[in-house]
Amino acid sequence: MSAQNYLNLITLSSLIALVFPNVSYAQEISGAQIATNVEVDDSNIKAGDILSITPENKIIKSSVAYDKKIFGVVVEDPAIVLNKETSKTIASLSQGEAQVKVSTKNGNIQVGDFITSSDEAGIGQKATTEGMVIGKALANYTGQGVASLPVYVNIQYQSQISAGDINSLWERVVAFTSEGLRQPENFQLLLRYIFALLVGGLSFIFGFIFAARALRTGLVAVGRNPLARGTIEVNMFLNLGAILFLSVAGVGLSLFIIFYR
C-alpha cells in the first residue's frame, strides 16, 4: 500500500506541474499538506499522533522509542488526500510540516532538534541518540506535559550529532546507554560502541606512552653517545612514525567499528 501511495503522489505532482505551470500556484501546492488515508482499528487515534506499522501491516500509535517502523503522523484537513476516505481511515502525513504531539520526557526541545517516537503511545520526544526520527522541530518547547509542536516531518535514520549539541554529549551517552539496556535490540549496538571506544582510547593512550618513552630513550642515548647522534635521531623518527601510524590505525579501526553496517 505504501509503495502505491508514493506512486500516486508522484503522478499527482507531475500532473499538477504540467497543468498548472505558473510559479505562484506551484509555491502554494509545495507548502500544502499531502496526506494518505490509511485504515486503522483504534478510534482513539487523533491529529498529532505518531503512527507505526506492525509486521501485520496494521497502523497503530507508536509506543516504542526510536521505533524502526515509524509510518507518519496524523493530520487534520490536509490540502490533498490520497486514497478513499472511510469511517475507519485517518489522514497520515509522511513528509511535510505538521503538528506533532510531543513531551519533554527526554529533554527540552529546541528548534532544529530531531523528534522521535517514545514509549508513550503516539507521543514524540527529543532524539538524543542514534535511531529513527520523525523529523525536525520547528519551534521550542520547554513546558510540562504533552503539547502540539510544529515539526517538519521527514522520516529517516539519524546517526549524526550536530556541533551545536556537543555540550550535551554526556547526556546523550547516558541516554543511549540506558536506552540500550532497556531495548535488547539496541544492546548489540551499545556493545559495539563500547568496544570501539576501548580500541580508540587504548590506541591513543598507548601511542602517547610509547612515543614519550621513545623520545626520552633517544635523548638519553644522544647524551651518552654524541658521535652517533645522526643514527639515533633517524631511529627516533622511525619509531615515532611507527607509533603514530599504529595510533591512527587504532582510531581508524574504532571509527570503522562504529559506522560499519
Task: Please say whether the beta carbons of 96 and 72 come within 8 A.
Answer: no
Residues 151 and 244 in one domain: no
Q: In the structure, what pLDDT confidence band is assigned to residue 24 with cuts at 50, 70 and 90?
A: very low
Instruction: Please say if the pLDDT value at position 109 is more than 90.
Output: yes
Residues 84 and 177 in one domain: yes
The least confident of 54-63, 136-145, 207-216 is: 207-216
Q: Which of 194, 216, 196 is nearest to 204 (CA)?
A: 196
pLDDT of residue 74: 94
pLDDT of residue 7: 45
Q: How many independent structural domains does the chain possess?
A: 2
Q: Give the structural domain span for 174.
A: 31-182
d(CA 47, CA 74) in angstroms, rounded, equals 5
Residues 40 and 129 in one domain: yes
If phi > 0 it is left, if psi is from -120 to 50 it is alpha, else beta; for residue 153 that is beta
Residues 117 and 153 in one domain: yes
Tens digits of per-residue pLDDT, 65-96?
999 999 999 998 888 888 888 888 999 998 88
Strand-strand pairing, 80-82 and 89-93 = unpaired
pLDDT of residue 160: 63
Cell numbers of 66, please? 526510536
Residues 47 and 176 in one domain: yes
Residues 56 and 163 in one domain: yes
Task: Look at residue 119 and tell me if it is in a domain.
Answer: yes
pLDDT of residue 170: 54
Task: Look at residue 5 and tell me if it is in a domain.
Answer: no
- Distance, C-alpha 254 to centroid of its chain: 20
The amino acid occupying position 146 is V
Task: Please say whether the beta carbons of 234 and 222 come within 8 A.
Answer: no
Task: Look at residue 19 and tell me if it is in a domain.
Answer: no
CATH number at residue 207: 1.20.20.10
Instruction: Please say if the pLDDT value at position 206 is more than 70.
Output: yes
Residues 43 and 104 in one domain: yes
Instruction: Please say if the pLDDT value at position 215 is more than 60.
Output: yes
Computed over every residue of the chain, the mean pLDDT equals 77
Q: In the structure, what pLDDT confidence band is assigned to residue 6 with cuts at 50, 70 and 90?
A: very low
Task: Please say whether the beta carbons of 112 and 136 come within 8 A.
Answer: yes
Instruction: Please say if the pLDDT value at position 139 is more than 80.
Output: yes
Task: Look at residue 85 and tell me if it is in a domain.
Answer: yes
Instruction: Please say if the pLDDT value at position 134 is more than 70.
Output: yes
Task: Look at residue 205 and tell me if it is in a domain.
Answer: yes
First to last CA, the chain: 28
Q: Give me the mean pLDDT over the 42-52 stretch.
A: 91
